[in-house]
Chain A
Amino acid sequence: MQSAIETTLDIQQIRRDFPILDQQVNGRPLVYFDNAATNQKPTAVINALTGYYEGYNANIHRGIHYLAEKATAAFEASRRAVQEFLNAKHWQEIIFTHGTTDSINLVAQSYGRRFLKEGDEIIISTMEHHSNIVPWQMLCEEKGCILKVIPVNDAGELILEEYEKLLSERTKFVSCVHVSNSLGTVNPVKTIIDKAHAVGAVVLIDGAQASSHLDLDVQALDADFYALSAHKLYGPTGMGVLYGKKELLDSMPPYRGGGEMIKEVTFAKTTYNEIPYKFEAGTPNIADVIAVKTALEYMAGLGKENIAAHENDLLQYATEQLSELDGLRIIGQAKHKIGVISFVLDGIHHQDTGVILDQQGIAVRTGHHCTQPLMQRFGIAGTTRASFAVYNTKDEVDRLVQGLRRVQKMML
């Protein structure tokens, strides 16, 4: 165990693990600050993908030959690695999906359709990603459930008193983001979960942004469901995880049919396999699942607390430096936030900002970040967002600040 957060990572050494970073964009060294959208992959992860295809590509679970055995073992080893990463109690609680969006849809379509009924209330928050809004709206439309929304204050924090007012015995489900992708706000999910449980509601946490920055412990949180995406964890794209408590998953019907999810099929009746296979219809992304383990090992090798400390350093530094620019307003000033800094520039369209930064080799995200209701809450069309990963440096933050000065000089 490492106790102090003091440990300093050798960032230049780490950068060598990410071949993509070593390139020029528009004649300048690339600064990649779009990590909240997806972060870059270390060579180890890329090698895990090619290693599977070059060495033991085979379909899993059904094969009796050597390659199939090896692939199956690697696939299931990845499940155990995720179990450990989330501190889930049982390996059967880890379901591989296509990502956070897919995980949330699974819960809405399987749990929601089976257990929610007309008049039941579902609570989400104003800072949800569209992925955690639309599946619930679809369910509400189908089942006649009612969607309620936790408001946020001007700093970009959930207003917990308002959340308490929304809770009642009619509340059957709460689905809330752990860390906002647009604001960086870290939500008090433990409190949110406890209060929901007190009225008997089931809770899903959208951990897409939290997973690479925070220590996760689904048992300590007592989360019923936890969703995440591998591509925000230095892992492959289109690959994610749904954690669900065993007793909940056992009670849920599968929502996609075919492949490994069955026990026995006759034309009269099909019986379903056990969890997690019940929810993993068809041939999965075997290579990608296997590479998730490598990604988790990579992070563990650096030490998640070290990564978090470094990103926090960058956030503090960027916040100070950006605050010195005239006409720059940071959107999202929560007391507890991580690696994301969203801002607007007076008199300058965020899209123009993004284009001119790109011409200087700086990759940021601009727009509503799939959180349109949140943008409406702040009365803006979008922001420019810089988001950090372990390989970013203070020099790069300086480049961003210079880049923004250039934007202002050109536009104003």
Chain B
Amino acid sequence: MAKVKQIIELDDVVVKFAGDSGDGMQLSGSQFSDTSAFVGNDLSTFPDYPSEIRAPQGTIAGVSGFQVHIGHKEVQTPGDLADVLVAMNPAALKANLRWTKPGATIIIDIDNFDSNHYKKAGYTEDPLQDGSLEGFNLVKAPISTLTRSTVAEFGLDNRTAEKTRNQFVAGVLYWLFNRDMKIGENFISERFKKHPEYIQPNIAVLRAGYNFAETVEAMAVKFQVNPALKGKGLFRNITGNQATAWGLLAASERSGRKLFLGSYPITPATEILQELSVMKHLDCITFQAEDEIAGICSAIGASFTGKLGATSTSGPGLALKGEAIGLAVITELPLVIVNVQRGGPSTGLPTKTEQSDLMQALFGRNGESPVAVLAASTPANCFYYAYMSAKLAIEHMTPVILLTDGYLANGSELWPIPKVEDLDPIEPPLVQDNDMEYKPYKRDIESLARQWALPGQEGLRHRVGGLEKEDVTGIVSHDPGNHELMVRNRAEKIERISNYIPKQEIMGNKASDLLVIGWGGTYGALYTAVKELQEEGYSISLAQFTYINPLPKNTKEVMENHKKRIVCELNMGQFATYLRSKIPQFDYLQFNKIQGLPFMISELKTKFKEILEEI
């Protein structure tokens, strides 16, 4: 047995699992994250997969990855660079080396590093010999051969046997991070509940990986990441898409309005539809429509009958839904439109993240067509913002667009489990049967919301539709003055939502040298960069916006008293443009990245320092 020369205690570690799409790296990744959560680490994960289902094996295009960031300290992003890289083949190595820290531990499946393999990956020379791995702690593990010999006794077919290799990888990491093997074994038993014949072989491979790590000299270093300081209580690991789906369910339960999701599959929003399609027991109906238009239209129909109507999509789908959003605006029906942003235009970068649908959400419709726009800022708070979107939609009788993005949707983080009864109540503006006072477009004097009278209710028959309606009575009207009044009413109704949402917060001093402004999914990176600079003594603050339209009431005050302001976003500057039109008194610098990738903390810090040092 090799002696462990050193146990290194770390505040946080980033592990990247990379291999062919079929190598099961997503599973190794989630197994490792669950195990870390069990021992109380804070965590954030991000899968990174190609848009092709099975791109050619062994090529860069086919590399699928899963990054896990665990910490004793607070963890807000999946991390910039990896401390440990698992590369199942040369392509995985090549694609990830530049995202790996100098001196990192790199575990490779040596069985896949012959000339055949490295040429496929685009290497002309053997990467193990060309000096490119110098300075790294390279662990050459015969993962394929050892896995094969381990499972030989179970009589699995070759394909199934190959699939257990990810457990070898997991085993190595259990040793490396000093993890309890029981957790891994339980994970496997749970995972293969429906295929008990796979449980034993997978556990055997897991142990083989562990034993291998323990016996080889190269693994003389172990890492220790102690439990996080994050509060006490019950937590779960949740992705943004799952949290979005569950937030809608919570709003449905709290409002007493059954949930109806009309949707059409599109990356990276599909999991919302999938997740809700298994929620029939919670009275949720999912309608997989023939296209995005039918998806939203069926949801509008559902809202008309008194359900919580919702639709989920991504950029190209939002474009198709534009006309129907206008219909929900003019009929003043509640509707939640979840748009999981991805790189555009057109099909663009389907599996990559971007924040470039902001203008589309705000303005991408014909006519004066105001809607409320919210943006979630972490995977877990997609739950809260989906809930709030539904609450605002129902109480203010309006469509609400919730923006998330590919990064939030697929990423996950540890989340303190809330109780439904602790969420703000939702009060639908329903009408009593035979209410003689009911008029379709009579408004609440404070919120300007109209009432929700449902087909089937006695004495409330009325008609809604896309033609302009007379104020109060709801009769079709082309009267010029009435149209202007109705346009202004609809705009004012959205504006008044600012009376019902929280004030914008600032992380840091209300007066600083540099105010960093972000919105939505960039929160983790911006927060970490700003926090680290604050700790280094810089005068820097962060305002991360989640209520986009209307903006919080104190937005102008938030902008005041800073020497400079910089708006950081993953697009060409859409929020900056919006702020310039809404709060024109100030100058806004911009930092934009349009690579389909999230911000790196390091690049943000470099940029902010540059500005701070000029002041």
A-B complex is real: no
Name B residues whose Cβ lies closer than 8 Å to a Cβ of A: none
Residues of chain A whose beta carbon lies under 8 Å from any beta carbon of chain B: none
